[in-house]
A and B are shown apart, each in its own frame.
Chain A
Amino acid sequence: MAVHHPDGPLILRLREGDVDALGELYEKYKTSIYRTALAITRDRGAAEDILQECFLRLFTHAHRMRTDVPLHPWLYRVAVNLSYTWVKRQRRRQEGTFDGVLEGLVASLHLLPEQWVEQQETWEAIRQAITQLPLGHRVVVVLFYLEELSLKEIAEILGIPEGTVKSRLHYARRFLKGALEGRLPVAGVVYEFT
């Protein structure tokens, strides 16, 4: 008999149509799925729709879900695939108008104003550079740096070899390094990305 993962009993309840079980899983995973979709699409409306879609699919596909493995790789996979589709079809995205407000709210209060401005500019430069990466690389960067998933987990989610994840990350780092030239301390330092 298969050993249940802690999510397993909830999936079994989902199969019975238990909406409360869906609610428990939603509470557990909503934030990570939402921010992953938001970081890839950079569109709040799309991220909300993707989050909704992930959990609707979970509800309708509960009978196919395994109860002995963690659920989050499957949720990430659905979210990433939907984000892929959305970004590919969206030729020109419009940045959310509330980005600046949000960043103001999370700003470090201990910094001097000029340091704060400089930090914001650097972070924005990094985020802009990330959006210029090929989509497959951007997804790896988001899962690695934002979600702090391992290379193995990312490979499993994306259905690609671990070596491919590693090479995408290597390319992304090299690209970001180039894009941030002048913002990183360089004195006597040789960049190695191996």
Chain B
Amino acid sequence: MSSRDLSSSELLDRMVMEALQARFAGVRPPSRVWRRIRREVRRYRTYPQGGGRWASALLAARVASPPFGREEALSGRFGLGMFLFPDVVTLMTLRFGW
């Protein structure tokens, strides 16, 4: 069907769909996300009491950071890792430098 066959509202619908799908339909999450999930699940199984703080810590850390590019995002993520699991070992590392 050509665009001439469409009413303007259908055309608008199609344009919006195309614009979003051209930009986002082909995107895939990088494999590092699954590696991070697996790592955090292992930590959670070791220290389950720390898991409940995932969400708030994640968002707080992201929001506290200024707008960033890719390099800053990486460093932010490493910092974020420290916030995610305030288990005993992490706390001791932070507090006492063990």
Q: Is the interface of B mostly helix, strand, loop or mixed?
A: helix
Query: Contacts A17-B45, A52-B36 known; A103 to B12 CB distance under 8 Å?
Result: no
- Residues of chain A within 8 A (CB-CB) of B55 are 53, 57, 82
A60 pairs with B19, CB closer than 8 A: no
B29 on the interface (CB 8 Å rule)? yes
Minimal beta-carbon separation of A151 from chain B (angstroms): 13
Residue of B nearest to A120 (CB): B22
A45 pairs with B76, CB closer than 8 A: yes
B88 on the interface (CB 8 Å rule)? no
- Residues of chain A within 8 A (CB-CB) of B63 are 86, 89-90
- Residues of chain B within 8 A (CB-CB) of A30 are 28-29, 33-34
A184 pairs with B12, CB closer than 8 A: yes
Tally inter-chain residue pairs, CB-CB below 8 A. Answer: 153
Interface bits A75-94 vs B (CB < 8 Å: 1, else 0): 00000001001100110111
Minimal beta-carbon separation of A86 from chain B (angstroms): 6
B38 pairs with A19, CB closer than 8 A: yes
A39 on the interface (CB 8 Å rule)? yes
Q: Is the interface of A mostly helix, strand, loop or mixed?
A: helix
- Residues of chain A within 8 A (CB-CB) of B68 are 45, 94
Query: Whole-angstrom distance between the alpha carbons of A124 and B11 in the complex?
Result: 16
A114 on the interface (CB 8 Å rule)? no
Query: Contacts A52-B40, A126-B15, A145-B16 known; A106 to B26 CB distance under 8 Å?
Result: yes
Query: Whole-angstrom distance between the alpha carbons of A22 and B44 in the complex?
Result: 14
Residue of A nearest to B48 (CB): A60
A102 pairs with B15, CB closer than 8 A: no
Query: Contacts A31-B28, A45-B73 known; A180 to B21 CB distance under 8 Å?
Result: no
B41 on the interface (CB 8 Å rule)? yes
Minimal beta-carbon separation of B51 from chain A (angstroms): 5
A35 pairs with B27, CB closer than 8 A: yes
Interface bits B29-60 vs A (CB < 8 Å: 1, else 0): 11011101110110011000001101100110
> Which B residues are within 8 Å of any A CB, using their own CB?
3, 7-9, 11-13, 15-30, 32-34, 36-38, 40-41, 44-45, 51-52, 54-55, 58-59, 62-63, 67-70, 73, 76-77, 80
Q: List 24 A-B contacts (CB under 8 A).
A: A19-B41, A22-B37, A26-B34, A45-B62, A45-B77, A47-B29, A48-B32, A52-B37, A53-B58, A82-B59, A85-B59, A93-B67, A106-B23, A106-B25, A141-B16, A145-B13, A146-B20, A176-B12, A184-B11, A184-B12, A185-B11, A191-B8, A191-B9, A192-B9
Minimum-distance CB pairs A-B, first 10: A126-B19, A123-B19, A45-B73, A94-B67, A34-B29, A89-B63, A146-B20, A35-B24, A145-B17, A189-B8
